[in-house]
Amino acid sequence: MEDWVAIGYLLSAALFIFGLKKLGHPRTAPFGNQLGALGMLVAVLTTIFSMQLAGDAQWVLIGAGIALGSLIGYIMAVRVQMTGMPELVALFNGFGGAASALVALSEIQKYIDGGTVPEGLELTVTMVAAGLSALVGWMTLTGSLLAMYKLKGGVSVFGKWIKTPTWGPSWLNPVKVMLVIAVAVLIYLSIDDPTNTTYLWSIIGISCLLGIVLVLPIGGADMPVVVSLLNSLSGIAAAFTGFIIGNSALIIAGSLVGASGLILTFIMCKAMNRTLPDVLFKSFGGSGEKESLTRTKVGSDADEVAMMIDGAQKVIIVPGYGMAVSQCQHQVKEFADLISEKFDTEVKYAIHPVAGRMPGHMNVLLAEANVPYEQLIEMDEINSEFPECDVAIVIGANDTTNPAARSGEGPLAGMPIIDADAARTVVIIKRSLSVGYAGVDNDLFYMDKTMMLFGDGKAMMTGLNNAIKEI
The average pLDDT across 304-332 equals: 91
The single-letter code of the amino acid at 144 is S
Q: Which domain holds residue 432?
A: 302-470
The average pLDDT across 280-288 equals: 61
Query: 288: pLDDT confidence band, cut at 50, 70 and 90?
Result: very low
384 with 342: CB under 8 angstroms? no
Helices (H), 317-398: 321-326, 329-343, 361-368, 379-382
Among candidate residues 162, 199, 158, the one with its CA nearest the CA of residue 182: 199
Position with higher pLDDT, 120 vs 340: 340
Domains in the chain: how many in total? Answer: 3
Answer yes or no: is pLDDT of 285 > 60.
no
pLDDT of residue 236: 94
Q: 318 and 267 in one domain?
A: no
Q: What is the DSSP letter of 156?
A: E
**Across 62-66, 245-249, 425-429, which has the greatest mean pLDDT?**
425-429
- Name the average pLDDT for the chain: 87
86 in a structural domain: no
| Count of other CB atoms within 10 angstroms of residue 10 | 15
pLDDT of residue 287: 47
Active site residue 419: no
Percent of the chain with pLDDT over 90: 46
Q: 241 and 355 in one domain?
A: no
Lowest mean pLDDT among 214-218, 233-237, 290-294: 290-294
pLDDT of residue 318: 96
The average pLDDT across 221-239 equals: 88
Q: 253 and 331 in one domain?
A: no
Distance CA 41, CA 461 (A): 42
Alpha-carbon Rg of the chain, whole angstroms? 25
pLDDT of residue 139: 96
Q: Which residues pair with 391 in a beta bridge?
A: 315, 425
Answer yes or no: is pLDDT of 293 > 70.
no
Which of residues 281, 310, 332 is at a domain's end?
281
Q: 224 and 348 in one domain?
A: no
Answer yes or no: is pLDDT of 296 > 80.
no
What's this model's pTM, rounded to 2 decimal places?
A: 0.80
Answer yes or no: is pLDDT of 290 > 60.
no
198 in a structural domain: yes
Answer yes or no: is pLDDT of 54 > 70.
no
pLDDT 10s digits, 264-280: 898 888 777 778 888 88
92 with 73: CB under 8 angstroms? no
Query: 53: pLDDT confidence band, cut at 50, 70 and 90?
Result: low
Q: 12 and 123 in one domain?
A: no
pLDDT 10s digits, 324-357: 888 899 999 999 999 999 999 999 999 998 887 7
Catalytic-labelled residue, pool 399, 419, 421, 441: 399
Which of residues 281, 313, 344 is at a domain's end?
281
Q: 129 and 218 in one domain?
A: yes
Q: Give the containing element (helix H, strand E) for 430.
A: strand 425-430
Which of residues 21, 51, 79 is at a domain's end?
79
Distance CA 25, CA 468 (A): 33
Q: What is the DSSP letter of 293?
A: P
Distance CA 8, CA 443 (A): 58
Q: 95 and 136 in one domain?
A: yes
Among candidate residues 379, 33, 38, 89, the one with its CA nearest the CA of residue 261: 89
pLDDT of residue 259: 93
Q: 95 and 70 in one domain?
A: no
Answer yes or no: is pLDDT of 361 > 90.
no
The single-letter code of the amino acid at 331 is Q
Q: Which residues contact 350 (CB under 8 A, 6 or more apart)?
A: 316, 317, 318, 377, 379, 382, 383, 386, 392, 418, 420
234 with 97: CB under 8 angstroms? yes
pLDDT 10s digits, 373-400: 889 999 999 999 999 999 999 998 888 8
Q: 273 and 185 in one domain?
A: yes
The average pLDDT across 295-300 equals: 78
